[in-house]
Structure 1
């Protein structure tokens, strides 16, 4: 349904459980309560909305135009009869009075009702603790400290809500181990008040020091613990973040200082800056970072730790500043995808303690500048990158009137179709061989200057079509650029598949969005039936399918069309290649 000027995200105003008040927290698409009756409120489009219906009951409407806001058409309704467990509630706005007319927008929220009360915490834990789904929900009323020598374990399905600025501060050890089916939920108790986050306070970075774990955690609405810079803030500590979801954070999602940090298979979205680290050893793998706000980067590393850092297999989408911004850090940047980065997709200056950076296998498309190399950086391992549709492709220069420019040797690169493909100032040097440079045929063995014939640029598919002269003409007979050629075939109508199950594990979740993007942009394995990846059923597997799926999973977006949520045959044949029989 069209909803460009519409908001139906519930704002919780009060909670009632019969005649007894029952604590309620959360907001948006997930609300947590101990009562059987609550009051939901939110805003609707004041121009087109004539009524709002929730569970068959018409909401009260009031126009709010003064005071502190929020402003607009306020709806409010009592929701009763909540049962223990999950209660799915749909809010529908209509263009007719008294719940009549046509729906113009809708929103679904899940109200989780617990039979027990919130377990409240404030101050230091007395000893080792284990928080569980059955023992909760849990509420942080202030800073909760895990002292040295103490371990806090959080099990799958546990719900933790935090009051304004309340945080977990870990000086002992934290093991938050959710599961794919039952992630750990960490949220602000109130929509209006951000909670702090999780700080790891100088627990050590040696091999025998504890490695804290955040696994399958869904963390939203945090800011930063008092005295720290990020919602997740390891300081002189070791931390592994894996298979997590971080969202709606007005500051840095993760901020490490003198830390050893590894982030794997994690989605970070709608944040100020994704991952910022200073003087740390940092590895980021198979992670999606999207929708940074303000003058902020997806990844920003300043200074080296004791080893090389690595950024590999990640997807960066939508930043008003840089994708990866590196200063005085030794890092390997490999097999990543950068799309719609307003400033520089990759920006590197000043050499780290463990040597020069490497750049290989990256797709950079529709960015301000593809790769910026400056201030003494020398790239000797730069190969199989694709930079296209940017304002500037590869730029080498001295910054701030420094005489230290940038230097690079690239091979098997496609830098084509940018407004300016290569810029080199008087202090810098660059060499290419077995590469396709769009502006001119660059001096060097095996270089070309031809249309690379990408398969489907409109669909963000930058693999090479069968006619491309970039196939087999990279160094040692490799294909130029980040991706090789792809094939196709007929579309039998009797193929049985589950739409959006890109990794064919029988479930539709965030790993399928990652698998789709891995196939499209990194040459990863894909199903024989490409229809499986066409999550929005528009007849073309492309980046919009991954975005569509993520919105369905995390932002109450529309579900994939049939066959979904059960396997079946395609109801709208579209020519995508599929073998006969079950998809595999």
Structure 2
């Protein structure tokens, strides 16, 4: 009897997703059960999954007051929903509703005035709802009128959204491809923003945001080409901001522009950002500060090759008190204050040209080329000829920072190193997602339960990245199932414990490997 491995894979995949979904959930397929996505949405009830087959769909969808899942195929490019430049591609409303939008390519969104001159929306417009938006590609959305347009990729208003693992590129809006307004509280993780023009990538007004593992590259705006904050609070952690440009007569903050906002920047890498005024990487100012607070805090970050046409090649921070610590500022450029301009207190930093403060040095950091990414530091233990002066140069009273500054991925131990720390490359076995020492069908079940059903997360995210593409998505479960039922070998390290040979933002906090 000849067994069909493809059939085995299909059966296993179907069982994996369907048998572990909530018992009340049903799956509605397009075009199987309904010819259009909107008809399927209208027929769905809370808990249902609308599963859309690969293909091109010209629709302008409305998802109102429903907590359902709208899901495309296993990747984010095969199921394409095109709004036809008539209206928003997807409009989400309904206080208390929490839909999930995943694995879709959303394009052709067209923004219209909201009655107050502003032009809002494009691909996704969300008002009074708390969606999870993940693993989508959102590109090619434009404004209807070149007047005060905003949120052409995603517009979030009065929302507690979670935005994860999306690629947002080539959108055009005056106030950000993604806009967060109306006292929203949103979490952004592992998204990528590329070449969003006019108003840059992310615009936040009167809201609170957490950004983790985000990458911003090649975005353009008149200020804050990657991130723009007004009357808001932002925690920006383990993010990479590069080659963003603030242009025009108001061109301050090549990567980040913050006004009357509280900003915490931790373990970030900012390089190659430019502006036509002040703050090649970051510009911040505030008319008022809450007593007893630190409105701007920067720590464990690296600033390299940023440039301002007037002052503050890396930082222009006119907000007090501002604290910069355990960071590296090197090879930034401006006619005045090439590294830092403004009212800044620094401690335990490496600042080219020198800067006043305890533990501040002015020595070539000796960046080393290597696979760990993030401008690693030269270290004899990693095979370089000498140690960087930034190694073990931090505050002796501070605990070591999680991550690595080395090309070999060794964790930072002892006295903390200065600058950005890449994720440590702990040893693990790829595809052993549940870390039980075995590679079996329990691993993709654990993986999918985490992604789609709110199950516990992995202690070693790298192990769950079965195809080694740097993302956790349904493609990893498919890769594992294909290996189990059809043969083939996953990328290293497999069977034997080892480190991840590729650079990504995934971490491995703990595994059963020694």
> Structures share a fold, TM > 0.5?
yes
RMSD: 5.4
Contact 2:28 2:48 in 1 (8 A): yes
| Residue equivalent to 1:429 | 343
Q: Does 1:376 align with 2:287?
A: yes
The answer to whether the Cα contact below 8 Å between 2:203 and 2:228 also exists between their aligned partners in 1 is yes
Match of 1:246 in 2: 137
- The 5-angstrom pairing of residues 125-524 of structure 1 reads 132-133=28-29, 136=32, 138-140=34-36, 151=45, 155=49, 157-159=51-53, 164=58, 166-176=59-69, 178=71, 186-188=79-81, 196-201=88-93, 203=94, 209-224=95-110, 228-235=120-127, 237-251=128-142, 252-257=152-157, 259-272=158-171, 273-301=176-204, 303-305=205-207, 308-321=208-221, 322-343=225-246, 344=253, 346-352=255-261, 356-368=262-274, 369-376=280-287, 379-392=295-308, 393-396=313-316, 405-407=318-320, 408-420=322-334, 422=338, 428-438=342-352, 440-456=353-369, 460-466=373-379, 467-478=387-398, 484-486=404-406, 488=408
Q: Decide whether aligned partners of structure 1 residues 447 and 424 sit closer, same or farther in structure 2, where only a CA change above 3 A counts.
A: closer
Tell me if the contact between 1:167 and 1:225 (Cα under 8 Å) persists in the aligned partners: no
Cα drift, residue 243 of structure 1: 3.1
Distance 1:318 1:271 in 2: 10
CA shift digits 1:526-557 (9 cap, x unpaired): 879xxx9997xxxxxxxxx869x99x99xxxx
Structure-2 separation of matches of 1:145 and 1:156? 7
With a CA cutoff of 8 Å and minimum separation of 6, indicate the structure with the bigger relative contact order: 2
Q: 1:370 to 1:142 in 2, by over 3 A?
A: same
Question: 1:192-242: per-residue Cα shift (whole Å, max 9, x none)?
Answer: 7777422123x2xxxxx423222433233241476651311112x122324
Taking structure 1 as reference, are residues 331 and 526 closer, same or farther at Cα in structure 2, changes over 3 Å only? closer
SS in 2 for 1:238: coil
Deviation at 1:152, TM superposition (A): 6.2
**3-state DSSP class of the match of 1:455?**
coil
Select the structure that is richer in strand.
Answer: 1
Aligned partner of residue 362 in structure 2, secondary structure: coil
Shift, 1:311, TM fit: 1.7
Rg: which structure is higher? 1
For residues 463-482 of structure 1, the C-alpha deviation after alignment (integer angstroms, 9 at most, x for no partner) is: 33321222222234559999
1:384–1:480 Cα contact (<8 Å) kept: no
Contact 2:177 2:200 in 1 (8 A): yes
Structure 2 distance, partners of 1:318, 1:132, is 39
**Worse-matched range after superposition: 446-455 or 272-281:** 272-281
* Shift in alpha-carbon separation, 1:447–1:482, aligned structure 2, 3 A: farther
Deviation larger for 470-479 or 130-139: 130-139
Residue 278 of structure 1: how far off its partner (Å): 1.8
**Take 1:339 and 1:534, find their aligned partners in 2: how far apart are those partners?**
26
Offset at residue 184 of structure 1 (A)? 11
Q: Tell me the TM-score normalised to structure 1 length.
A: 0.53
For residues 334 and 350 of structure 1, do their structure 2 counterparts lie closer, same or farther at Cα, with a shift above 3 Å needed? same
Tell me, yes or no, if the aligned pair for 2:235 and 2:263 is still in contact at 8 Å.
yes
Q: How far is the alpha carbon of 1:312 from its aligned partner? A: 2.2
Where in structure 1 are there 5+ consecutive unaligned residues?
A: 1-127, 204-208, 398-404, 490-494, 512-523, 536-544, 554-561, 570-574
With normalisation by structure 2, the TM-score equals 0.60
Stretch deviating more after TM superposition (243-252 or 176-185): 176-185
Between the aligned partners of 1:137 and 1:465, the Cα distance in structure 2 is: 59
State the distance in 2 between where 1:156 and 1:142 align.
10
Q: Could you tell me which runs of 5 or more consecutive residues in structure 2 were left unpaired when the two chains were aligned.
A: 1-23, 114-119, 143-151, 247-252, 275-279, 290-294, 380-386, 410-426, 449-458, 477-487, 496-500, 504-511
Give the 3-state SS of the residue equivalent to 1:444 in structure 2. Answer: coil
